Amino acid sequence: MNENNIAVKVEGLTRTFGDFTAVERISFSVSRGEIYGFLGPNGAGKSTTIKMLCGLLLPTGGNGTVGGFDIVKESEKIKKTIGYMSQKFSLYDDLSVEENITFFSGMYGVTGKNKKERKEWVLEMSGLKDKRAVITKTLPGGIKQRLALGCALLHEPPVIFLDEPTSGVDPVSRRNFWSLIYEMAKGGTTVFVTTHYMDEAEHCDRLALIYRGKIIAEGTPTELKVQYMSRYVLEIETDRTFEALEVLNRSGFETALFGSLLHAVVDDTKTAVPEIEKELEKADIKVIRIDKIMPSLEDVFVTLIESA
């Protein structure tokens, strides 16, 4: 990877709070224009990492750069080149939509003709053109998040950090939010995003799976599914789904209901498929089909955590 093409790079980044290690020696790099996802459960160290990258929190070990600036020594320079949207809504609740936008353009030093243009852009992208005088407190969660994103993008930063931008947002708003992120990335903006939604992680160009402060896997969503999945997922269709689930679980197969189908995780397909067929036949259940399928990220994650 060309050095000039790197937006974020960290090595051995560590943060402890007393005895607790929130982030433990993580290393990764993000190229310009990439959507880089940090996927992990709550408390895995995602927010801690993002805060260190934004220059809000000092690391206790390791080093890193954002936009070429050192995260420890040049944090104020970093703040000029990034947009940050925190997990918790952090605009001013008692200010109107427009007042919030005006305030943050002041903070980011957006002035003159540009100031007006950018304000209209934020109002447009958040769908608040005719609600500019509304007090922010009264807006629904999804709209608030879009406004927060808009305010973080007022100065058109080349790198943006989004900490769980869609937590607590309804599915339609979530999809809209992601189309915005795509648009940003298409325009050359580097997007660093954390999430605990598996389906959202699929949207990222590259992913790091983070668990208990450590990166346990990294790669594109497809790479992760292919490389890290040591076991296979079989999709089974039968004429009596519930009975089949009972039969397979009783005979020791790790089986779960998946809509009207069953998913069984097996070590070896060659031996497992005939065995499953035999067990179901014994119970007089008709097997319609058994297919080997691509595991979901959730399958990958669960498998990795079990082996971690």
Partner 1 sequence: MKFPRIRAIAKKELIQIRRDPLSLAMAFLMPVMLLFIFGYAITLDVNNLKTVVCDLDKSMLSRELAAQFGKSDYFTIIDRVHSYGEIDGYLDRGEALVAISIPRDFSENIKRGRPAELQVIVDGSDSNTATIALGYISAVTGLFSEKIAVRQSPPLIETRVRVWFNEELESRNYIIPGLIAVIMSVIAALLTSLTVAREWERGTMEQLISTPVKTQEFILGKLMPYFLIGFIDMLISVLLAVFLFDVPMKGSLFLLAGLSSLFLFGGLSLGMLISIVAKSQLVASQIAMVATFLPAFLLSGFMYAIPNMPKPLQVITYAIPARYFVSILKDIFLKGNALHMLLFETSLLGLFALVVFAIANKKFKKRIE
Q: Which is nearer to partner 1, 55 or 295 (CB)?
A: 55
In terms of Cβ atoms closer than 10 Å to its own Cβ (0-12, 13-18, 19+), residue 132 is: middle
* Binding segment toward partner 1, per CB under 8 A, in 80-88, 120-128, 184-192, 275-283: 80-88
* Binding segment toward partner 1, per CB under 8 A, in 104-112, 122-130, 208-216, 244-252: 104-112
Q: Which is nearer to partner 1, 95 or 134 (CB)?
A: 95
Per rule CB under 8 A, is residue 95 in the interface with partner 1?
yes
Closest to 192 measured CA to CA, from 155, 151, 149, 162? 162
CA distances from 108 to 74, 155, 187, 279 (A): 17, 6, 20, 66
Per rule CB under 8 A, is residue 106 in the interface with partner 1?
yes
Per rule CB under 8 A, is residue 111 in the interface with partner 1?
yes
* Binding segment toward partner 1, per CB under 8 A, in 55-63, 124-132, 240-248, 289-297: 55-63
Q: Which is nearer to partner 1, 152 or 244 (CB)?
A: 152
* Binding segment toward partner 1, per CB under 8 A, in 37-45, 97-105, 179-187, 251-259: 97-105
Residues in binding contact with partner 1, number by CB under 8 A? 34
What are the DSSP E strand ranges found in 164-240? Answer: 190-195, 206-211, 214-219, 232-238
* Binding segment toward partner 1, per CB under 8 A, in 92-100, 197-205, 215-223, 237-245: 92-100
Q: Which is nearer to partner 1, 56 or 261 (CB)?
A: 56
Per rule CB under 8 A, is residue 174 in the interface with partner 1?
no
CB-CB contact of 217 with 300 (8 Å): yes
Per rule CB under 8 A, is residue 133 in the interface with partner 1?
no
Q: What Rg value do the Cα atoms of the chain yield, rounded?
A: 23
CB-CB contact of 248 with 264 (8 Å): yes
Q: Which is nearer to partner 1, 54 or 264 (CB)?
A: 54
Distance separating the N- and C-terminal Cα atoms of the chain: 29
Per rule CB under 8 A, is residue 5 in the interface with partner 1?
no
Per rule CB under 8 A, is residue 73 in the interface with partner 1?
no
Instruction: Mark 37-72 as b/e (b = at least 16 C-beta within 10 Å).
Output: bbbbeeebbbbbbbbbbbbebebeebebbbbebebe
Distance CA(117)–CA(4), nearest Å, equals 30
The residue within the footprint of partner 1, chosen from 21, 29, 49, 86 (CB under 8 A), is 86
Residues in the chain: 308
Which residues would be at the binding site for partner 1 (CB under 8 A)?
51, 54-58, 75-76, 79-80, 82, 84, 86, 88-95, 99, 102-109, 111, 148, 151-152
